[in-house]
Amino acid sequence: MIRLLFAALLIAFGTGAWAHAALTKSIPGNREVLAASPASIHLKFNEKVEAKFSKVSLEDAHGKPVTLGTPAVAADDPYALQTPVTGPLAAGRYTVRYRVLSQDGHVIERSFVFTIGTPETPTP
Amino acid sequence: MIEAYAAGARALAALCGAYLIGTPLFLLRAGASDDPAVRAWRARLLRFFPIAALGLLFALLGLLHAQASGVAAAVADLALTRDIASSTAFGRIALVRLGLALLLVPLAIGCAVRAGDRISIAAVAAMLLAAVVVGAGPLSGHAAGTDVATVLVTLHVVHVLALACWIGGLPAWITLARAAQHDHDGSIRAFAAVAMTRFSRFALPCMAVIVVAGSLIALEFVDDQGDLLGTRYGRLLCLKILALLAVLAIAHRLRTRWLPRLDEPADLDVHADGVRRTQREALFAVVVLALGAGLAQTTPAIHDQPHWWLPWRLSFDASAEVPGSRIAVLVGAGLLIAAAWWAALGARSGRGARRGIGVLGLAGLGTAAWGLSVPAYPDTFLRSPVPYLTLSIDQGRRAFAQNCVACHGTGGLGDGVLASTLRRPPADMSAPHTALHTAGDMYWWITHGMPEGPMPGFGSVLDDEQRWDTVNFLRVFSQGFQARVLSPRIVPRGPWLGAPDFYYATADGGRAQLKDLRAVRAALIVFTVAGDPRSLARLGALRSRADPRLAIVEPTSPDVWQAYQFLTRTLADRGAPDRLDLPRRHAEFLVDRFGYVRARWLPEDDPTHANDFDLDAAVSALAEEPEILPPPDLHLH
């Protein structure tokens, strides 16, 4: 009887991915070198994240914040957060910082970098 | 502080829930009795029901508030808590649990005021409701976020319910034993003997479920010894296992030594002894619950960075390089077998024999562990924060060329110009043992230098990212020498070489990443030579294939070739000893859909194409092959 009740609860709430969110892909990618400024920052996680309580920020190579739009769940992917880049970014290295709320209530903070223009250092 | 608040709330909820579940279960197992002493005992137990129900309600409220505070990184106000409760998945589950806990309160009050000869329907209903509240917890816990969520959540639900059934019955057991202890006319002792024996029979499978389900859950969140001893999650888990072992030992003694004595003529001291032992068991049980609450609030070990605190670790592969290690392992195994044989012969009946078996077993374990041990450092089990990307490998190659070649040589073979001046020869990076060291070992050596060796630390020269880049480079460089056996023929069921990841431009002008093809299709990575008609013709022929099971990937970024060229050494051509790179031109790598390099074709070694890929056969074989190894980690470990 008890197990039946739990089975019902499992079905009711679904068993989707609810725990520590992990970034599975980003556009731009971690350390990717782009030819031009991206229009948005796309973060795909291994589970849904609570967009309302998540933050994405961008810093240039000198640590100066770059203004971004408000992160929202991507229209075509409920596991992805899409944050518009409001203006064209100049060439250089950028750090994306994200603070997302997993569906188990835990907050995850991570960062990654990408470069616009030239590679990090020329290949000899 | 917020984490401690949340863990405390979880622990209180677990304790109250356990009481509400375990007490009625014990009463059900005990059966009915109209004995006044038994009635008084039952009434006393049920009197605490409203307190437990209120405790559960407030603990769940506290947990929700603690989680909201975690989001705010400060004490959350009412508005934020309400917002999180109404607009997040875990908040909605918390609201459902709170609603059910609220319903429990009047039920629990009803139980308290209507305690009679037998357990009431209200108490059973309260027990079931509490079970739903407790069992719903894992729906928003760690287990639900894994790839095998359905299985793990079910295991977790079963685990917490079995814990609640067993721990929640202990107060009833203790109070009944205490009542029997003071029962001079013997009216309650017979009832107690039956009730405890029945509960003990019920608790045994509960224990088995707790241990089996808990072990399976732990295996999902703990990867290796570094996770187990080097992370907070792992250490809490170890403490929980130790506390559980203590509980099992006490429970075993109660079951095998104490329970049979209840059938003997009245002896009040028996019950006094039982009370003492069960109180001890209950104390450890509370510790188990509290540690479980702490685990639920702690980042799982596989998502954390282990910091190793022992000067050695156990490794079957790496210890094979240490002279005498295998002999020690064999001797240790022999001692363990001898101890097991001695025990099986029944010699354990005597105290001296038991000690002998224990000493022999410990000596066996110690000897085997010594044989398997290799040096370790605080960073040994660190997970690289830098992905295993060709960009990183290329940067690592540059860092190596700038800082390491004076000793390790321009070709990385340990023959640099300073090598002969050093009291200990520098490591040959092409040697197979390089791959036996963890990425963390290498990171530690690059940062701090080799202990008892001439290599200095580069922690002040290279930043954190550059040091991990160097580790990534050393991994592919070393694997390149093992990859000399690669050929155009795949070895069925033989993946071992993880393909370095990279970004590339797609034919439609978009951007993609090699790992995007995982679990989708195999990939043929083709490195062409600009302006070489044969190379370009080959690419054209490959492009014209229309096989949905195979993606043709044409990386053009120099870093991709710089990394993959290390995988072009052959049995006939190790490459020049004074160069890291190889002067190869066209090369093709077949990568299976799990991310492993499975075959390679180098036209310079096969000008007549006599030994070219049989792509149709290879792709068919790879498409039919099941997952043999998990996909290679995108971060070295």
Facing B395 at nearest CB: one of A6, A47, A120: A120
Other CB atoms closer than 10 Å to residue A106's CB: what's the count? 25
Q: Is the pLDDT of residue A16 over 70?
A: no
B634: which 2 tokens?
A: 């995108």
Q: Which residues of chain B does A5 touch, with a Cβ-Cβ cutoff of 8 Å?
A: 128, 131-132, 135
The full 3-state SS of B82-129, as one line of letters, equals HHHHHHCHHHHHHHHHHHHHHHHHHHHHHHHHCCCCCCCHHHHHHHHH
The alpha carbon of residue B551 is apart from the nearest alpha carbon of chain A, in Å, by 19
Judge: A20–B391 Cβ closer than 8 Å, yes or no: no
Q: Which residues contact B39 (CB under 8 A, 6 or more apart)?
A: B33, B115, B116, B117
State which amino acid sits at residue B470. T
pLDDT for the residue B635: 64
Enter the DSSP assignment of B321. Answer: T
Inter-residue contact B125 to A5 (CB < 8 Å): no
DSSP string, B413-441: SS--TTGGGSSSPPP-TTSGGGGGS-HHH
Inter-residue contact A36 to A4 (CB < 8 Å): no
Average pLDDT over residues B138-151: 66
More confident position, B102 or B297: B102
Inter-residue contact A34 to A114 (CB < 8 Å): yes
Facing B503 at nearest CB: one of A1, A19, A29: A29
Q: Give the mean pLDDT of chain B.
A: 88
Q: Which residues of chain A does B161 touch, with a Cβ-Cβ cutoff of 8 Å?
A: 2
State which amino acid sits at residue B567. L
The full 3-state SS of B249-303, as one line of letters, equals HHHHHHHHHHHHHHHCCCCHHHHHHHHHHHHHHHHHHHHHHHHHHHHHHCCCHHH
DSSP string, B161-173: HHHHHHHHHHHHH
Q: Which residues of chain B does A21 touch, with a Cβ-Cβ cutoff of 8 Å?
A: 145
> What whole-number distance in Å separates Cα of residue B251 and Cα of residue B169?
13
> What whole-number distance in Å separates Cα of residue B129 and Cα of residue B48?
17
Length of chain B: 637
> What whole-number distance in Å separates Cα of residue B253 and Cα of residue B57?
36
ipTM: 0.78
Average pLDDT over residues B357-374: 92
Judge: B131–A20 Cβ closer than 8 Å, yes or no: no
Q: Is the pLDDT of residue A19 over 60?
A: no
Q: In what side-by-side order are the strands of the sheet with A92-101?
A: A33-34, A107-116, A92-101, A55-59, A65-66
Judge: B140–A104 Cβ closer than 8 Å, yes or no: yes
Chain B contact probe: residue of A10, A46, A112 with most B CBs at under 10 A = A10
Facing A53 at nearest CB: one of B88, B387, B395: B88
Label residue B327 exposed, middle or buried (CB < 10 Å: 0-12, 13-18, 19+).
exposed
State the pairing for strand pair A33-34/B522-527. Answer: unpaired
Query: Radius of gyration of chain B from Cα atoms?
Result: 32
Record the pTM: 0.84
pLDDT for the residue A20: 67
State which amino acid sits at residue B237. L
> What whole-number distance in Å separates Cα of residue A27 and Cα of residue B440?
28
Facing B140 at nearest CB: one of A18, A48, A53: A18
Task: Count how many Cα atoms sit within 13 Å of the Cα of residue B325 in the half-sphere of its side chain.
Answer: 16
> What whole-number distance in Å separates Cα of residue A29 and Cα of residue A34?
9
> What whole-number distance in Å separates Cα of residue B372 and Cα of residue B381?
17
Judge: B88–A20 Cβ closer than 8 Å, yes or no: no
Q: Is the pLDDT of residue B118 over 80?
A: no
What digits encode the pLDDT tens for the residues B60-98? 999 999 988 888 877 778 888 898 888 888 888 999 999
Facing A47 at nearest CB: one of B84, B91, B145: B145
Report CA torsion sign: B54, B57, B61, B67. Answer: positive
Inter-residue contact A80 to A56 (CB < 8 Å): no
What digits encode the pLDDT tens for the residues A72-88? 999 888 889 999 999 89
Q: Which residues of chain B does A33 touch, with a Cβ-Cβ cutoff of 8 Å?
A: 391, 503, 557
**Helix, strand or coil, per DSSP, at residue A80:** strand
The alpha carbon of residue A107 is apart from the nearest alpha carbon of chain B, in Å, by 6
Inter-residue contact B171 to B23 (CB < 8 Å): yes
What digits encode the pLDDT tens for the residues A21-66? 788 899 999 999 998 999 999 999 888 888 888 999 999 999 999 9
Inter-residue contact B169 to B201 (CB < 8 Å): no
Provide the pLDDT confidence category of residue A12 given band limits of 50, 70 and 90.
Answer: very low
> What whole-number distance in Å separates Cα of residue B254 and Cα of residue B241?
20
Alpha helices in B306-429 (DSSP H): 316-319, 325-344, 351-372, 390-403, 405-408
Average pLDDT over residues B301-323: 88
pLDDT for the residue B436: 77
Among chain B residues, CA nearest to A104: B140
B166: which 2 tokens?
A: 């067993």
> What whole-number distance in Å separates Cα of residue B396 and Cα of residue B390?
10
**Helix, strand or coil, per DSSP, at residue A74:** strand
Q: How many A/B residue pairs have CB atoms within 8 Å? A: 131
Q: Is the pLDDT of residue B507 over 60?
A: yes
Number of H helices, E strands in chain A: 1, 9
**Helix, strand or coil, per DSSP, at residue B635:** coil
Average pLDDT over residues B538-555: 91
pLDDT for the residue B146: 52
pLDDT for the residue B36: 84
> What whole-number distance in Å separates Cα of residue B96 and Cα of residue B86?
11
Q: Which residues pair with A23 in a beta bridge?
A: A45
**Percent of chain B at pLDDT exceeding 90:** 50
Length of chain A: 124
